[in-house]
Amino acid sequence: MSTRRASAGGPLAAFVLHHHDWSETSLIVEFFTRERGRMVAAAKGAKRPYSQLRPVLMPFQRLNVQFGKAPADDSAEVYNLRSAEWAGGVPMTGGPALFAGFYLNELLLRLLARQDAHPLLFDMYADTLQAMSRADESGTQAALRAFELVLLRELGVLPELALVTQTVLPVRLEGHYGLDAEAGVVESPGSGLVGRMLVTLEAALEHGSGVALRQAVAGAVPPLRGPLRGLLHYHLGSSQLRTRRVMLDVQKLLDLEGTSR
């Protein structure tokens, strides 16, 4: 039987990435599931005041969801949401952490193909939300850079950081390097990422621990920001994400409010 026409099976671990109105009473919801990747479903009646789905379909909360049969039309991708239950988790705090969470969701929506499972990335996403819920601004930035590294590696577009891509020679610990979207790790004399930093980051990625990766990233947040942003924008085909634009606008308003006092 075609997997496109089969049921999605039993309950799936999931997070809500985004939803929008479908009708006066229903929603179309984008989920990130551990077992099936990004999936979209119709949540019928979810907007009704007494719907059991209404308080559950919130971002950043781990859920167990169950879908109905796959669409009969192979060109369609929308399942019916049969059930969704809260599976625990720490509520996201407001401010920078909340914006950071929506930034992660936008990356996943724009970079992941539907129904392409990435269990390691799912686990990293859940771990990153937990870390950001209790982190200060510097900790949140480290968590974001760590997640970006894992996302790019899972997509197959992050080169091995401990090697110069074109020569496959180990990076020099005291050398300086850049990350090029097409050429990979390249020498960048006098500026860029220090070789020792790249070796540490690669080792943390290989280790697979979110905690270890965030610790490795913590000392490299400023020099990593530009190169990772460049890689993401290249593969997104866009110079700016919507979430980042909103964050910058909010920061401008806060700065103006501060100067007017």
For position 252, what pLDDT does the model report?
41
> Could you give the CA distance from residue 90 to residue 108 in angstroms, rounded to a whole number?
20
pLDDT value, residue 9: 65
Q: What are the average pLDDT values for consecutive 10-residue runs of the chain, which has 261 residues?
A: 47 95 92 96 91 90 89 72 87 76 94 95 96 91 97 96 97 96 93 94 95 95 93 83 53 43 49
**Residue intervals in the chain for CATH 1.20.1440.120:** 96-260
Q: In whole angstroms, what is the distance from residue 16 CA to residue 55 CA? A: 12
Q: What is the CATH number of domain 12-86?
A: 2.40.50.140
The domain made up of 96-260 is a member of CATH 1.20.1440.120? yes
Specify the 3-state DSSP secondary structure of 53.
coil
d(CA 48, CA 197): 52
Provide CATH 2.40.50.140 ranges for the chain.
12-86
Q: Give the separation between CA 193 and CA 185, rounded to whole angstroms.
A: 10
pTM of the model: 0.87
Q: Which residues contact 192 (CB under 8 A, 6 or more apart)?
A: 176, 177, 178, 223, 227
SS3 214: helix
pLDDT at 77: 81
With 0-12 CB in 10 A as exposed, 13-18 as middle and 19+ as buried, what is 138?
Answer: exposed
Neighbour tally for 17: CB within 10 Å: 23
- The count of other CB atoms within 10 Å of the CB of residue 156 is 6
Q: What is the pLDDT of residue 93?
A: 63
